[in-house]
Amino acid sequence: MSPYIILLCLILFIIHANPSMGAQINETTIPQGSEINTDGPQSWVSPSGRFAFGFYPEGEGFSIGVWLVTDPSRFIMWTAFRNDPPVPGGSILLTAGGSLQWIPPNQGFQGKVISAAPTSATSAAILDTGNFVLYDAKKQVIWSTFGSPTDTLLPGQNLPPGNQLFSSVSNTNHATGKYRLSNQPDGNLVMYPIGAIDPDSAYWNTGTYAQNFLLTLTLDPNGTLWLFDRNSPYRMMLFLTNQSLSASPDSESYYHLALDADGILRLYSHVFFKQGGAPKTKVEWLVPPSNDRCSVKGVCGPNSFCQVTSSGETSCSCLPGFEFLSANQSTQGCWRAQTGGCTGNSSNGDIGLVATMVTVKNTSWSDRSYNVPPQSPTIEECKAICMSDCACEIAMFDSCSKQMLPMRYGKRVPGSNTTLFVKVYSYEPKGPIRRTASATSTAMLTSGAALAMLSLVVLLSMSVLLCKRQPFFRYTRAPQQQETEFDEESIGIRPYSFHDLELSTNGFAEELGRGAYGTVFKGVLTNSGNKGIAVKRLERMAEDGEREFQREVRAIARTHHRNLVRLLGFCNEGAYRLLVYEYMPNGSLANLLFKHDATLPSWSNRIAIALDVARGLQYLHEEIEVPIIHCDIKPENILIDS
């Protein structure tokens, strides 16, 4: 970079970063004892009226946060308790003791402290910068929303080294979503799917890891985005808005940077006209670009690939021989509709299980090869190599690297040189009569639909994963799997407070079952359409139980299969350890077989049950990224869905 460009960038940074040359910081003081509530004034508003702090509607209740007022809509800039259910109402009070609290509407709820200030606050303010602050008696800021960003940066707000932004679930659900923007200690600004830590999972970065600086991300009042080092003159301008060079006297502009729910980082401008009229909102800059939305890794789940439709939206498709985990949520990924294990082609009466290699062209994937032939084979040789290896699920050509499941981060790339050969299993009649491909596919889908009516779900819980060589929390894992520090935000499931689960279960009133290590209770998530849940409260912890609890939650959170109960969340609060599962309304296989008033299933249904259990075990043993050996298969741990 020429010295003139560096000097220009430095001058621009000084101009844009100087508070006296940007937006003036105005405020309205909020003294102790001030209160807002959902039945009266629901927010405190900044002097300009552009920003507000208080209650905003979400779901069937309210969330607490800061937003930019762009009537009739609002842009949420910060959310308190973002992973807790919305509150039913109540008030926000700056108490006489100097604490900012949510006060519940009745005694059935426990209040929450919004601020984590080290000392008592004497006053508060919502500034025209969008920052809500608490002051001590010396008018020093002791807590601010700028200090704990969620998915957004406002002008004057920094993202220091080691800090992250986490996307929201959607525009109407501001719980932690699927993506994160990490300002890494090595100086690189990187975007990942949540839960991923390996460099191959990154889908955008600034490439500043070799600068040997601890860089801070900041947005100035004129909409210019910078990376800078606090201890040196180093500056890197990521984006310069046109408005910053040609401000209009008839309007004023506000900016914010957001990691949106779709994993794209966008810089927004909001132009307000002094003569009135509706404000104009515009996307000034975004990465990755809008024509490459499938480059956001994790848009589609495992074993599926992303493609952009003619309308510009993303669409997910399964690999051949795979079906969506959820027909209503195609982004969750796909599972193998039929598995052949390591026995090769097999037969049963007049029907044989046959494996074929199906070609998929023009796609790109994250390479998870476990073996590459020393010499480059031909296409037919590559297919034969994979067919002869029971562990090979997919061969990626032109190097013929043998792949394991799950396949990750697939996307359609027209003209790509990569060709996949996918091993697909199907039942074929013996002898000279052969079905056509379309007939085989129809038979497989019909069979799958019939089995889904009596689909069984293997319950993965702390007791189920036991291998009873140790007192608690033991399962066999693949060797050399590195443990990482437990991070509630990064494992992709929702943390709950003990109080929330106590309310959801009505004080743990209805017991569903009891095991050696805990009791399962029925509950309801009122903020999710009264969705039924099963809450397992763990009661026995070994000396190293905390580490093992974290390990188990991390392992179970990474399992996604239609024949495994889904882990929805967990509680890791104080001495409490709880797991939240989806609720299976028809109970266990033990009840179905042994309860005195139960109707016994037919033999054909019993076979279907056994096959579904086998599919769940096949996934755990051979298809999951970190294999798990199930050590407690019994009727009590096999649940029947609806």
CATH number reported for the structural domain that contains residue 176 in this entry? 2.90.10.10
Instruction: Say if residue 84 is in the same domain as residue 54.
Output: yes
Kindly list the averaged pLDDT for each block of 10 residues, start to end, along the chain of length 642.
Answer: 43 41 60 94 93 93 94 88 91 93 83 89 96 95 96 96 94 92 92 84 89 88 90 86 63 94 94 85 91 90 90 91 86 82 48 82 86 87 91 88 90 90 78 35 26 40 36 29 43 78 88 77 80 83 59 74 84 84 85 76 85 85 72 78 69
Task: Say if 448 falls within a structural domain.
Answer: no
Task: Say if 489 falls within a structural domain.
Answer: yes
Instruction: Say if residue 169 is in the same domain as residue 197.
Output: yes
> Which amino acid is present at 341?
G
Contact call for residues 382 and 413 (beta carbons, < 8 A): no
DSSP characters for 412-447? E-TT-S-EEEEEEEEEEESSS----HHHHHHHHHHH
Domain final residue pick, 152, 176, 199: 152
- State phi, psi for 614 to the nearest 5 degrees: -65, -35
Instruction: Say if residue 482 is in the same domain as residue 538.
Output: yes
Instruction: Say if residue 96 is in the same domain as residue 40.
Output: yes
* Residue 344: per-residue pLDDT: 46
Structural domain containing residue 15: 1-21+155-288
Task: Say how far apart CA 594 and CA 382 lie, in whole Å.
Answer: 51
Task: Say if 307 falls within a structural domain.
Answer: no
To the question of whether residue 536 is assigned a binding role by annotation, the answer is yes
Domain final residue pick, 109, 129, 152: 152
Instruction: Say if residue 6 is in the same domain as residue 136.
Output: no
Instruction: Say if residue 548 is in the same domain as residue 460.
Output: yes
Instruction: Say if residue 270 is in the same domain as residue 326.
Output: no
Number of domains in the chain: 4
E strands present in 493-546 = 494-495, 511-514, 518-525, 531-538
Instruction: Say if residue 193 is in the same domain as residue 148.
Output: no
Instruction: Say if residue 32 is in the same domain as residue 139.
Output: yes
Instruction: Please give the model's pTM, rounded to 2 decimal places.
Output: 0.66
Instruction: Say if residue 202 is in the same domain as residue 252.
Output: yes
- State phi, psi for 93 to the nearest 5 degrees: -130, 130
Q: 437-452 vs 603-618: helix axis angle to the nearest 10? A: 100
- Residue 306's H or E segment, with its range, is strand 304-308
Both tokens of 499, joined, read: 């109080």
| Distances from the Cα of 509 to the Cα of 381, 443, 512, 524, 525, angstroms | 62, 46, 10, 12, 15
What CATH number is given to the structural domain containing 504? 3.30.200.20
Domain final residue pick, 268, 288, 308: 288
> Which amino acid is present at 159?
L
Task: Say if 48 falls within a structural domain.
Answer: yes
Task: Say how far apart CA 629 and CA 545 lie, in whole Å.
Answer: 19
Task: Say if 186 falls within a structural domain.
Answer: yes
Instruction: Say if residue 635 is in the same domain as residue 537.
Output: yes
Of 558, 482, 489, 625, nearest in space to 181 by CA: 489
Task: Say if 207 falls within a structural domain.
Answer: yes
* Residue 269: per-residue pLDDT: 93
* Residue 541: per-residue pLDDT: 54
Of 288, 292, 265, nearest in space to 413 by CA: 292
Task: Say if 513 falls within a structural domain.
Answer: yes
Contact call for residues 267 and 286 (beta carbons, < 8 A): yes
Instruction: Say if residue 413 is in the same domain as residue 462.
Output: no
Task: Say if 613 falls within a structural domain.
Answer: yes
